[in-house]
Structure 1
Amino acid sequence: MFIFLQYIHYNKISTMEFRKSCIALCTLLLAMTMQAQTQKWFNNVKLSGFALLQYQYSGQANAKANSFNVRMGRLSLDGRFMKDWYWKTQIQFNGNTATLGASPRMVDLFAEWQRYECFRVKFGQFKNPFSFENPIHPITQGFQGYSQVVSKLVGFSDRSGMQASNGRDIGLQVQGDFLKNAAGRNLLHYQVGVFNGQGINVKDVDQQKNIIGAIWVMPIEGMRIGVSGWRGSYARKGTWTDEAGVKQSGVRSLPQRRYAFSVDYVKDDWTVRSEYIHSTGFGFAKPLENTKNANATDCNLSTLGDKAQGVYALVIAPIIKEKLHAKVRYDMYQPSKGAERQRTQYDAGLDYAFNKNILVSGIYSYVHDRSLKKPNYSMIDVQLQFKF
C-alpha cells in the first residue's frame, strides 16, 4: 500500500487513473483474501472411502451357490466450518444389485453443531440412534455382515418392507456425554431424535414422525451398558385388500414399536458385544426396491405377523495384537411370534491386517433355519477389505 501511494505522489496521475488504480488494488486484495479463505476451508476437507470385495459359498439345499461379489464401496467427504460445525456426505456403490437404480445412492448427508460435549445437534440423513451395532463401521463390525436382528429391525433389510437404508433415516437428533468421574471420563451418554420413518432419500408419507433414542452408562473404561427405544410408523400410499376382502386405497400406516438391550466391552484389542432386540408392528408383504414399480404402492401385509425378536453375542480376540484375530458369533432371529421360523447362525473365523488400511477376513457359518425343509447347511465367506 505504501509503494502504491508513493507511486501516485511521484507520478502525479489523474483522478480517473487514480480511481482505476484503487479499483484494481481493491479487486486484487479481495481476490487474495478469498483465495486464503478458500485454501483454509479446502485444507479442512477430507476425502476417504473403503471397499469390501467378497467370495461367498452357500450349501443351502436347492439353492447352492458360490460367487465373487463386490459387496460395497463408499466415498465420503467430511470437514469442519466455523469451528463448531462438523459436516459429512457419503455415497455407497453396490455390486450385483437387482436394480442398478439402487446404486450408487447417498447414505449420509448431515451437519452437526458440536460446541458442547453434553449437547450436540445433528440434522440431515444419518444413522438411527438405536442399538450399539448399528453405528459401527462395516469393517470394524468384524463379521461378514451385521447380525440378523440388527439387519431386520434397525433399517438395513427391514421387516417393515422399507427400502434398504443402511440403518439410516432423515431427521433431527440431539446427543451428548456428561457426568465425568475423577479421571475425566464421561459415565453417561444419551441420544434422541425425530425422524421421517421412511428410510433414506424418501420424504415422509403419513406425516407421523419416529422418536428413536438410546441411553447408556460406562461404568468402567471400555464398557457400555445401554437401552434403546423406537416408537413410530412406516407407511405407503397405494392399495390393499383388508381382512373382509374389500379393496382399499390411500395411505396405510403401520405402527412400529421396538426396544433393545445392549452391552459391549472394547479394550486392548478385545471386543465383546451382545444385544437383544424386540419389535411389535406389522410389515408390508413386498419390500420397496424402486419407487416406480408395483411394490411401491402394494400395501398388503406380510404373513409374518406383528412380532419379531432376536439376539446375538460375539467375541473378537487378538492372537497377535492389532494384526491377527480369532472371532466367534452366535446369531439368532425369529421373524414371527414363536420359534417355527427361527434362523440361528453360528460363525467362527479369523482376520489378518496387512496394515491399518488392508484386511482379509474368513468366516465359516453353520446355519439352522427352521423355515426350510432341510434346515441345516454351511456357508463360507471371505472378504478383502481396504480403506483410504
Structure 2
Amino acid sequence: MRKLLITTLTLLAMGNLMAQETLNTVVNTLKERIKLSGYGQVGYTYDDAVEPNNSFDVKRAILMVDGKITDKWSCYFMCNFADATKLLELYTDYHIMPGLSARMGQFKTPYTFENQLSLSTVELINCYAQATNCLAGVTNADKLIVGNGGRDIGLMIYGDLFKKLVTYKLAVMNGQGINVKDKNNQKDVIGYLMLNPTKWLSIGGSFIAGTGHAMAQAEEAGIVVGQNYSRNRWSAGAILTGSRASLRTEYLSGKDNGVRRSGMYATGCVQLIPKLEMIASVDYFDHGRIGNQQANYVAGLQYWFYPKCRLQAQYTRQEPKGAEGSNLIQTQIQVRF
C-alpha cells in the first residue's frame, strides 16, 4: 500500500512538472510570436464655430495585435474601442524576397505621405490636413464616401529597393472603405513611390485611379446616390528630417466626374529643448464648390513625458473664404504601450 501511494505521488508530481513545462513552452512561444500594443488619446476641444463649443472627449482607444506565423508570414489586427467599436485593420503579410512583400486584407490605402502616418506619431491633434482628410477618405469631408480612416480592402505588393533608395507600394482595392464589400465591379489601382536620396530628404508621390459608388448626392458633380462615378487622385511632395527639426509638405488633387478638388499643406516640428517640441502647420483646401475654400493655420507645443507618450496643446485659426473666421483650441494627452 505504501509503495502504491509513493508511486502515485511520484506520477502526479511528474505529471505536474510536464504540464508546467508544456505551459511554459506555450507561454514563451506566444510571447515570441504575438506582440500586443495600443494607445489612447483623450482631450479637450473649444471651437467657437459650432454649438456647443467645448467638450472633453475620448478620441481614440486603439488595440493592436501583431502575430508572427513564420519568419516570412505574419498577420496584424487593429481595432478602435472609442465611441463605437470598429475594426480598422486586419491583414496578412508575406515576405516573398528582399524588396518584395505582399499584403492582403484591410489596411491603409497607400495614397499621400500623411495617410501612411500613425495618429500616435502625427503632429496635429486634428488628424491630418484638410486635403488628406477629404481626398484620402480619412473623415466624412468627402460626402460621396463614408469616412474610413483612409483604409480599404484589397491586395498590395510593396518593398524597399537599392538599399532603401526607393520605397514603393502598388495596390488593387475595392474603393468602398472599411468593413463593407465592394458596391461595383470596378477596383481602384493605387500607387505610391518615394525616393530617399539622402538620410534627410525624401521626395515622391502617389495616385488613385478608380471608380467610386456614391453614398450621397453631389449636385455640383452631377452625382446621385448609388451612381458609379470616376474618382481619380494624385499627390506629390517632400519630407525633410533633421536631428532637431522636420518638415513635411505635399500637394494633393482629386477629380470626381470632372469636378476638381485640390489642396496643399506644410507641417513642421522643431525641438526647443529635450522632449519639448514646437509644431506649426498651414494648409489650404478647395472643395471644388464656389465659395468653399478654407485655410487653416496651426501653432502648438507637444511634450514627450515618456517614450511614445505626450501632452499636446494647439491653436488653429480657421479661415473659410467669404465667411467669418473661427478659433479652435485643443489639448490632448496620449499614452501608449
Q: How much does 1:29 deviate?
A: 9.3
CA distance in 2, matches of 1:349, 1:89: 32
Q: How much does 1:63 deviate?
A: 4.0
Which has the larger displacement, 108-117 or 168-177? 108-117
Work out whether 1:153 is the aligned partner of 2:135: yes
Aligned amino acid, residue 204 of structure 1: D
Instruction: Decide whether aligned partners of structure 1 residues 40 and 307 sit closer, same or farther in structure 2, where only a CA change above 3 A counts.
Output: same
Residue 310 (structure 1) aligned to one of 263, 269, 272: 263
Instruction: Decide whether aligned partners of structure 1 residues 242 and 352 sit closer, same or farther in structure 2, where only a CA change above 3 A counts.
Output: closer
Equivalences for residues 66-77 of structure 1 within 5 A: 66-77=54-65
User: Which secondary structure does the structure 1 equivalent of 2:179 belong to?
Assistant: coil
Aligned amino acid, residue 151 of structure 1: N
Which has the larger displacement, 34-43 or 77-86? 34-43
User: Which secondary structure does the structure 1 equivalent of 2:283 belong to?
Assistant: strand
Work out whether 1:342 is the aligned partner of 2:284: no
Q: How much does 1:94 deviate?
A: 2.8
Equivalences for residues 358-373 of structure 1 within 5 A: 358-370=309-321, 372=323
Instruction: Decide whether aligned partners of structure 1 residues 36 and 344 sit closer, same or farther in structure 2, where only a CA change above 3 A counts.
Output: same
Instruction: Decide whether aligned partners of structure 1 residues 75 and 341 sit closer, same or farther in structure 2, where only a CA change above 3 A counts.
Output: same
User: Which secondary structure does the structure 1 equivalent of 2:198 belong to?
Assistant: coil
Work out whether 1:174 is the aligned partner of 2:186: no
**Given that residues 307 and 337 in structure 1 are in contact (C-alpha distance below 8 angstroms), is that contact kept between their aligned partners in structure 2?**
no
User: Which secondary structure does the structure 2 equivalent of 1:43 belong to?
Assistant: helix
Equivalences for residues 138-149 of structure 1 within 5 A: 138-144=119-125, 145-149=127-131
CA distance in 1, matches of 2:19, 2:94: 29
Tell me the equivalent position of 1:289: none
**Given that residues 149 and 310 in structure 1 are in contact (C-alpha distance below 8 angstroms), is that contact kept between their aligned partners in structure 2?**
yes
Instruction: Decide whether aligned partners of structure 1 residues 278 and 31 sit closer, same or farther in structure 2, where only a CA change above 3 A counts.
Output: same
Work out whether 1:353 is the aligned partner of 2:304: yes
Q: How much does 1:309 deviate?
A: 0.7
Tell me the equivalent position of 1:108: 89
**Given that residues 144 and 218 in structure 2 are in contact (C-alpha distance below 8 angstroms), is that contact kept between their aligned partners in structure 1?**
no
**Given that residues 205 and 237 in structure 1 are in contact (C-alpha distance below 8 angstroms), is that contact kept between their aligned partners in structure 2?**
no
CA distance in 1, matches of 2:179, 2:161: 33
Q: How much does 1:35 deviate?
A: 7.6
**Given that residues 137 and 150 in structure 2 are in contact (C-alpha distance below 8 angstroms), is that contact kept between their aligned partners in structure 1?**
yes
Equivalences for residues 230-245 of structure 1 within 5 A: 230-236=208-214
Tell me the equivalent position of 2:112: 131
Tell me the equivalent position of 2:183: 205
Tell me the equivalent position of 1:85: 73
Tell me the equivalent position of 1:386: 335
Tell me the equivalent position of 1:16: none
> CA offsets per residue over residues 80-102 of structure 1, 9 Å max, x none?
1111112110111234xxxxxxx
Gap regions ≥5 residues in structure 2: 1-16
Q: Which has the larger radius of gyration?
A: 1
Tell me the equivalent position of 1:226: 204
CA distance in 1, matches of 2:137, 2:75: 23
CA distance in 2, matches of 1:54, 1:33: 45
Q: How much does 1:320 deviate?
A: 1.5
User: Which secondary structure does the structure 2 equivalent of 1:354 belong to?
Assistant: strand
CA distance in 1, matches of 2:202, 2:218: 46
User: Which secondary structure does the structure 2 equivalent of 1:134 belong to?
Assistant: helix
Aligned amino acid, residue 233 of structure 1: T
CA distance in 1, matches of 2:270, 2:172: 37
CA distance in 2, matches of 1:149, 1:348: 19
CA distance in 2, matches of 1:218, 1:335: 32
Question: What TM-score do you get using the length of structure 2 for normalisation?
Answer: 0.86
Tell me the equivalent position of 1:217: 195
> CA offsets per residue over residues 354-375 of structure 1, 9 Å max, x none?
1114210000111111263xx2
Instruction: Decide whether aligned partners of structure 1 residues 148 and 254 sit closer, same or farther in structure 2, where only a CA change above 3 A counts.
Output: same
> CA offsets per residue over residues 149-204 of structure 1, 9 Å max, x none?
10001011251522221110000000111123xxxxx2111110000110000101
Instruction: Decide whether aligned partners of structure 1 residues 383 and 33 sit closer, same or farther in structure 2, where only a CA change above 3 A counts.
Output: closer
Tell me the equivalent position of 2:243: 268
> CA offsets per residue over residues 37-94 of structure 1, 9 Å max, x none?
674145321111111111111122x646011111111111112111111211011123
User: Which secondary structure does the structure 2 equivalent of 1:83 belong to?
Assistant: coil
RMSD of the alignment, in Å? 2.8
Tell me the equivalent position of 1:280: 255
Task: Tell me the matched-pair count.
Answer: 318
**Given that residues 145 and 215 in structure 2 are in contact (C-alpha distance below 8 angstroms), is that contact kept between their aligned partners in structure 1?**
no
Equivalences for residues 9-88 of structure 1 within 5 A: 36=25, 39-60=28-49, 63=51, 65-88=53-76
Tell me the equivalent position of 2:326: 377
